[in-house]
Amino acid sequence: MNLDKAVETKKMTGKRSTTLLRLLKLVANTSPWMLITSIIAIILSAGSTVMGSLFIERLINEYIMPLLKQSHPDFGPLWQAIVVMFGFYAIGFIASYFFTMLMGVLAQKVQYRVRNEMFEHMEILPIAYFDENDFGDIMSRYTNDIDTLMQMISQSIPQFMNSLLNIVFVLAAMISLSWQLTIFTLIIFALSIGVVRFLTSRSAHYFQLQQKELGQVNGYNEEMLNGLKVIKVFSHEPEVEADFEVYNKELENAAGKANTYSTVLFPIMGNIGNLLYVLIAVIGGAVAINHIAPLSLGVIGAFLQLSKQFAMPIAQISQQLNSIVMALAGAKRIFDLEDQPVELDDGDVTITKDEKVKGTWYWNVPQNDGTVKQVTVKGHIVFDHVNFSYAPDKQILYDISLDAKPGMKVALVGETGAGKTTISNMVNRFYEIDSGTITYDGIPIKRIKKDDLRHSLSIVLQETHMFTGTVMDNIRFGNMNASDDDVYQAAHLSHADEFIHHLDEGYQTVIDGEGGDLSQGQMQLLSIARAMIADEPVMILDEATSSIDTQTEQLIQSGMDNLLAGRTSFVIAHRLSTIVNSDLILVLDHGHIIEAGNHDQLLKQKGYYYELYTGKKEIE
Ligand SMILES: Nc1ncnc2c1ncn2[C@@H]1O[C@H](COP(=O)(O)OP(=O)(O)OP(=O)(O)O)[C@@H](O)[C@H]1O
């Protein structure tokens, strides 16, 4: 049991040192000259401060003591010596200012770099990563973890190095003055280091816990903020508050303990320093007066000053170690995100849009003989006995076979959770199938580069997303090269232009990421306009018109028909009126296709679809 614990601790320390090493490499790579200059300044700062203190011995023995014996003292040499001592301290001060400033700038640079790296990496992570990790926790890595990292680089690490050097230099200076007093000082410190080590290990544990709990509180907060309306509608505020209270309490506990252990260190160490000061004065004085050892007043004076300089960094080092350990926990979370395996893409088939002939795209298929064959993109998508599960033990799609011929409108119908969206997720390869094959114009989609595959698909989801910018920008997001006229035409076809004209600034109205004052339906119209302008060979419409009223939906139906004409489309809609004119309707039940055919054929079968359709009619 104890052995296990020891192995575990070793593993943790191992991980911490790997993180530290990686972090130091990152800092060194970001700006080697800043780091080197800072290190030189740190050495200079520690060295000159110790030199200043050592000079006290000469100041007392060689400049002050002789004056006491003179009847007409000449203060000239004393003033000169004081200027020299002041010079040492001034160099120490300037060097300290210099490295603090440089490390601050360096920390900003590292922060900038880490944020960029994290964001870039996040963009290429598989969708599955975001299913498993909540947004608040990911956001916490951008905010809290980066903040602590920043503090560590700008303050804790340079101060830690400064303290460490101070200890080494002061120790050397103390030995040169009196080895007996040095041994005495070290014994007192050995005792205090035991206490410090115990306290730092405890606080390190709670700091890590604190970072984890903070991530959870943020995650919960974000989730509840997103679902604020739902919570209010169902009057779940008390339950949500109670749950939040639990997370918050856990955070408070961890933070409280971490804080207690770390704050208790400073007074302990501070008072050990004071105690030592008194002991050295008394013992040193007694030894000198009784001539036990050759101790001059100058040596005792300088030793007293050095003992303070010895105590201070030891007190600080424990705090700096705490901040470093805390920041390492944050750094580890940042590196964990950066180390997440990115979405694999071993495809070699790419897509090209023929800019001369509108709506013409080609697959570039590398052949065995090294040539590249151009295949016109037709939008022929075939599923052959496809099985899929999100998690290993939870199969969602069973033996799905379908043939979406070029230009076909394929509707997916079925109850909530039947697997309709999952089928569309297979086409865009957000997830990998377990078995079976999917081909696109005869090419297995595994061979197609994911970016190019997705470039050939236009997707309109029920959950619309707008970006901060004008209405015009938001429609143009579908095709950055589209002209203003293209945007107007797409908005006209999707019937979005009617409400856009009523906005204060028309197409130049700025909306934020949440869509501003736009209704869900209006945002869906903008999304449809965005898809129209993208002009891609295959369309996936997943409840794309669910928030649009039936009248407007009928109005845009002709626009939608224009949009879908000549393209293969997968349409998911609960409102059956949207899909009755489909070439192929697939009825899904618990991940199985149970019926397939067009509207008339399915009605004749008098099966599930018939019941659904007639049931819907009764409702209407
Ligand atoms: N990312 C995911 N991870 C794990 N399971 C998932 C995930 N997404 C969906 N599921 C599960 O897969 C099943 C099919 O979901 P899917 O979204 O495809 O259904 P749907 O027919 O589109 O439903 P709806 O009409 O409600 O949109 C459901 O049981 C759902 O819980």
Is there a contact between 603 and 610 (Cβ–Cβ < 8 Å)? yes
**Per-residue pLDDT band at 398 (split at 50, 70, 90):** very high
| Cα-to-centroid distance, 413 and ligand 1 (Å) | 14
Whole-number pLDDT of residue 269: 63
Residue 441 CA to its chain's centroid (Å): 38
Which two three-digit tokens encode residue 596? 């397939």
Percent of the chain with pLDDT over 70: 93
Higher pLDDT, 153 or 16: 153
Q: How many CB atoms lie within 10 A of CB 369?
A: 6
Q: What 3 state SS string does 185-201 have? A: HHHHHHHHHHHHHHHHH
Residues whose beta carbon lies within 6 Å of some atom of ligand 1: 131, 390, 396, 414, 416-422
Whole-number pLDDT of residue 514: 67
Tell me the pLDDT tens digit for each residue of 402-461.
999 998 999 999 888 889 999 988 998 888 899 999 999 999 999 999 888 988 888 887
| Parallel/antiparallel/unpaired status of strands 584-589 and 409-414 | parallel
| Cα-to-centroid distance, 390 and ligand 1 (Å) | 9
The owner of tokens 């608040």 is 136
**Measured between alpha carbons, how far is 473 from 505 in angstroms, rounded to an integer?**
13
Which two three-digit tokens encode residue 487? 């945007």
Tell me the pLDDT tens digit for each residue of 59-113.
888 888 777 777 777 777 788 888 988 998 899 899 999 989 999 999 999 999 9
Q: Is the pTM of this model over 0.80?
A: no
The owner of tokens 């909530």 is 416
Which two three-digit tokens encode residue 95? 């060097």
Tell me the pLDDT tens digit for each residue of 138-183.
888 888 888 888 888 888 888 888 888 988 999 999 898 888 888 8
Rounded to 5 degrees, what are φ and ψ at 97? -60, -40
| Cα-to-centroid distance, 135 and ligand 1 (Å) | 19
Which two three-digit tokens encode residue 75? 């203060």
Q: Which residue has its alpha carbon closest to ligand 1 atom 10?
A: 390
Mean pLDDT along residues 568-588: 87
| Cα-to-centroid distance, 393 and ligand 1 (Å) | 15
Rounded to 5 degrees, what are φ and ψ at 234? -95, 10
Q: Which residue has its alpha carbon closest to ligand 1 atom 5?
A: 390
| Cα-to-centroid distance, 555 and ligand 1 (Å) | 30
Q: Which residue has its alpha carbon closest to ligand 1 atom 17?
A: 421
Which two three-digit tokens encode residue 101? 């400033």
**Measured between alpha carbons, how far is 619 from 205 in angstroms, rounded to an integer?**
60
- DSSP code of residue 448: B
Q: Tell me which of 125, 129, 134, 396 to substitute to probe ligand 1's pocket, judged by most ligand atoms within 8 Å of the beta carbon.
A: 396
Percent of the chain with pLDDT over 90: 24
- DSSP code of residue 31: -
Tell me the pLDDT tens digit for each residue of 267-290.
776 677 777 788 888 888 888 788
| C-alpha torsion sign, points 23, 29, 30, 31 | positive
Q: Which residue has its alpha carbon closest to ligand 1 atom 3?
A: 390
ipTM surpasses 0.90: yes
The ligand 1 atom at the shortest distance from the C-alpha of residue 543 is: 27
The owner of tokens 């997707």 is 459
Whole-number pLDDT of residue 556: 67
| Cα-to-centroid distance, 132 and ligand 1 (Å) | 14
* C-alpha radius of gyration, the chain, whole number: 36
